[in-house]
Homo-oligomer: A and B are copies of this chain.
Amino acid sequence: MSTRIGILTGGGDCPGLNGVIRAVTLHARQTYGWEVVGIHNGFEGLYDEEYIELTAHSVQHSLPRGGTMLGSSNRANPFAYPVKLPDGRVEIHDVSARCMSNLARLDLHGLIVVGGDGSMSFAHKFIQRGATRIVGVPKTIDNDLEATDYTVGFQTAVEVVVDAIDRLHTTAESHERIMIVEVMGRYAGWIALTSGLAGGAHVVLIPEIDYNADRVIEAFHRRHGRGVSYSIAVVAEGAKPRGGALSVVTAGDITRQEKLGGSGMRLAEMIAERTEYEVRTTVLGHIQRGGAPCAFDRELATRFGVKAVELIAEGKFGHVAAVENGHLVAKPMEKAVKKLKLVDPAGELVRTAKGVGIEFGD
């Protein structure tokens, strides 16, 4: 029987996943002659034994496509899995043993887990319990993994946000308005900061810097004082005003925030209460997560996919592919799951932003 490897994609969506799957498939088959098994819906497919064989034909059109051809599932935690009982009720069970025995039965030479910190921590636990032949590819549009300089999907999200900011600029200016764009980033402000910088925003609010609403409003006033009667503010989901009751976000708020754009709306209300400026809010939501990846992410996805196959070929299990100083390297998987990479409020990027006059409300 021929050698076989597997691949699954877990967690939230991000552009470039199909590029990873494609590169893994082409490289494994053409260079090593391995078969490639795609596992459906992340760890859910491992539980349900839903597999598909991946060939050059199956990945033929996948490079420019968003989403993941293997499907994903945000809730497929094998250690706390929602099992549907015959009577219709759902109970949470640890199904990791069954997943591991299914995995063993697949008899894989190696398994590639493409995912964020959630999927990586499940993979890490599997390794600790003996399913050692696993390697990872980190992905998140938030770019907040300590292990790697870049994650697949981030740059596309930034391009989408900058396209939107470009469209708002002209209206803001000719109609003298404050335009708020709420973008993703619950814990890390990379999308907001990078797209604010590239989009020519005037205010950028990020989770790493609690903002003083008065400082933000002063920034608008300063611009108006110079005769520039419009402004663009990019606000990360997780940005919050300094102190005050509003900064206590309850679970209910989070759900609501997810649907509604909490942080952008909150800022809009503050401005409306304290000034007479006309404000308009855009909540980009999931258009940041889907659709065709930009060229940068397609290149990155291809390099990650090829590297992941190399990790298996070299026996570097327990590692993830990562970019360090522009080079593809292997990093221990624990490193990928341990801590978030946050924006440094005193770092070069924030200083650059302040250098061109961007206000952070600090």
Taking Cβ atoms with an 8 Å cutoff, the residues of A that contact B are: 12-13, 17, 22-23, 26-27, 30-31, 56, 60, 63-74, 149, 155, 158-162, 164, 166-176, 179, 194-195, 197-200, 226, 228, 258-261, 265, 268, 279-287, 289-292, 294-296, 298-299, 302-303, 305-307, 309, 325-328, 348-349, 351-352, 355-357
In the bound assembly, the distance between CA atoms of A30 and B356 in angstroms comes to: 8
In the complex with contacts A198-B302, A309-B355, A279-B295 CB distance below 8 A:
no
Q: By the criterion CB–CB under 8 Å, are B67 and A174 in contact?
A: yes
Q: By the criterion CB–CB under 8 Å, are A197 and B302 in contact?
A: yes
Q: By the criterion CB–CB under 8 Å, are B282 and A285 in contact?
A: yes
Choice from B67, B164, B179, B351 contacting A170 with Cβ under 8 Å: B67
Copies in the complex: 4
Q: By the criterion CB–CB under 8 Å, are B289 and A171 in contact?
A: yes
Q: By the criterion CB–CB under 8 Å, are A22 and B279 in contact?
A: no
Known A198-B299, A261-B261; further 13 A-B contacts with Cβ < 8 A: A22-B356, A27-B356, A30-B357, A159-B296, A160-B167, A166-B292, A168-B291, A170-B291, A195-B295, A198-B296, A198-B298, A259-B268, A281-B283
Q: By the criterion CB–CB under 8 Å, are A260 and B260 in contact?
A: yes
Q: By the criterion CB–CB under 8 Å, are B285 and A281 in contact?
A: yes
CB-defined A-B contacts under 8 Å, sample of 29:
A23-B355, A26-B356, A26-B357, A30-B355, A30-B356, A60-B228, A63-B199, A64-B169, A66-B171, A67-B173, A155-B295, A158-B296, A159-B296, A166-B292, A167-B289, A169-B290, A197-B298, A197-B299, A198-B296, A200-B298, A259-B281, A260-B265, A260-B281, A280-B285, A280-B286, A281-B285, A282-B286, A283-B285, A309-B355
